[in-house]
Amino acid sequence: MTPVQPSPAAPDDYYSSRPQHLASGGVIFRDRAGRVLLVRPTYVDAKYRDDEKWEIPGGGAEHGDYPLDAARREIKEELGLDITLGRLLVVDCVPARQGRRPLINFLFDGGMLTTEQEQAIKLQDGELSRWDYCDRDDYVARLDDHMSRRVDACLDALRTGTTGYLHHGYHADR
């Protein structure tokens, strides 16, 4: 007697049972002094109340987006800069928590902004209130811990010519 093979799940059933990861594209811009550009979103005010929370520029991928395209679109929308981005610096996988889906962050090299590019920055009304260059002490104070580790990994990738792979900001291979 031949054993009965279970029938494969229909594609819609199979994929609906799998984790639904979000993806985002972020950009590391620097100035000539090596400081990193951060943005202050207005939408975090209610979440953090009096604490100033800052972010790496970029944003979530929309359905069908590649992370590089999402990063470039978000930079154009949020900062008014139409820039060709450089290489992938870091991939950071963040697990699901507190009702949020798992997230895969792709961070790209935005290079050093010129004075003309800095002067051309136009913050999107209602989404961002400020931008600033930050040295390490500043970005550690302004970012959540996992994001500070992410920036550290990006700067390390720039120095060494490597690409980092992180788990919630921590190097997965160390």
Q: What is the CATH number of the domain that holds 120?
A: 3.90.79.10
Q: What pLDDT is stored for residue 36 in this prediction?
A: 98
Inside any domain, residue 13: no
Inside any domain, residue 16: no
Q: What span, in angstroms and rounded, lies between the C-alpha atoms of 9 and 125?
A: 46
pTM of the model: 0.87
- Of the chain, the percentage scoring pLDDT greater than 90 comes to 72
Q: How many domains does the structure of the chain reveal?
A: 1
Mean pLDDT of the chain: 89
- Of the chain, the percentage scoring pLDDT greater than 70 comes to 88
CB 139 within 8 A of CB 37: no
Lowest mean per-residue pLDDT among 8-22, 42-56, 77-91:
42-56
Q: What is the mean pLDDT of residues 9-24?
A: 76
Inside any domain, residue 97: yes
Query: What DSSP letter does each residue of 30-94 carry, written as one string?
Result: E-TT-PEEEEEEGGGHHHHTTS---B-SEEEPPTT--HHHHHHHHHHHHH--------EEEEEEE
Residue 49 banded pLDDT, cuts 50, 70, 90: very low
Range of the domain at 92: 22-171
Inside any domain, residue 5: no
100-144 residue pLDDT tens: 889 999 999 999 999 999 999 999 878 899 999 999 999 999 999
